[in-house]
Amino acid sequence: MIKAGIIGATGYAGGEMVRLLMAHKEVEIAWFGSRSYIDKKYSEVYQNMFQIVDAKCMDDNMEALADEVDVIFTATPQGLCASLVKEEILSRVKIIDLSADFRIKDVNVYEEWYGIKHPTAQFIDEAVYGLCEVNREQIKKARLIANPGCYPTCSNLSIRPLLLEGMIDPSTIIIDAKSGTSGAGRGAKVNNLYCEVNENIKAYGVATHRHTPEIEEQLSYAAGKPVVLNFTPHLVPMNRGILVTAYASLVRDVTYEDVKAAYDKYYADEKFVRVLGRDVCPETKWVEGSNYVDVNFKLDPRTNRVIMMGAMDNLVKGAAGQAVQNMNLMFGYKESEGLELVPMFP
């Protein structure tokens, strides 16, 4: 059994980390970090943990934490993990960072899109981008994981097979995505108040959303050349879920069977990516509370385009579940340990 520490345990992603790790037979949570609730019982922050978690919240002292645990999860805003990590810590403990601090390999791009100076850019090249379906072997040997963003995970898994098979023109990709409000975090913000969100849907971060360079970088690896695309996210009045609908022009004539074979080639053996049957569109309600990503596509001969679709839970596969999946690979556990979650419905 390994010991885990969570910095940022009282945010939505951190809370989901606790829920998943409490059910993991190989893990003991030794540190519930939360700068906002130091010395307060964790179950007083999240009542669902009453008589399940008796521990109190602690600070974000990564140096002290590194002496007590085998793996640290940082479910924190951008910049915090990068400000805490150092070689002395990485030599003693593995870190899985749920922020964007180590996802983008070009530090100048990170600083431009996130508007902050990166304090530990020397670790960017070493950090492994933790999309297990793509970088499984590198993850097994890593000591620092950059857990992917929620929109990039769903977008990448929905589009990647057709780029790898050279079926679509990368310069024509457009991504339209929707997310539940938990994707914005637990902080008090006027735009996330009930009356602001309920009975409303809106685009945000249009042409400026910070996940754009992450999506472009990862799809560029699949395409074998730089990819520049339009990405427009939307906020919808639900707690959880991400739906991606992506469009691209085909570069040659293909049949349904050709495209289905491309998806099956990469996902037939992937437990957490489900390629749906013909004409079945992914829906967020069928993946809620699980680590699954449902993907599918539809050919449109009239426009010579393909519509690529994906749905997943932004807090599980889009954050905490993916982090647990990474941890399992890093410590040699069964990849699905602690993640055998049947989607919740209703």
What are the catalytic residues?
A: 150
CA distance 131 to 192: 29
* Runs of H (alpha helix) within 92-241: 107-114, 132-140, 150-164, 194-197, 212-223
CA distance 187 to 316: 19
DSSP one-letter string for 242-256 = EEEEEEEEBSS---H
Instruction: List C-alpha distances in Å: 207 to 85, 174, 200, 204, 233.
Output: 31, 11, 21, 9, 9
Indicate the SS3 state at residue 53. coil
β-bridge pairing 242-249 and 305-312: antiparallel
Paired strand residues for 7: 33, 74
Q: Which helix (H) or strand (E) holds 14?
A: helix 12-22
Q: What's the order of all strands across the beta sheet hosting 94-97?
A: 27-33, 2-7, 71-74, 94-97, 144-146, 128-129
CB 71 within 8 A of CB 106: no
108 burial (CB, 10 Å; 0-12 / 13-18 / 19+) is exposed
- The encoded tokens of residue 286 equal 């069928």
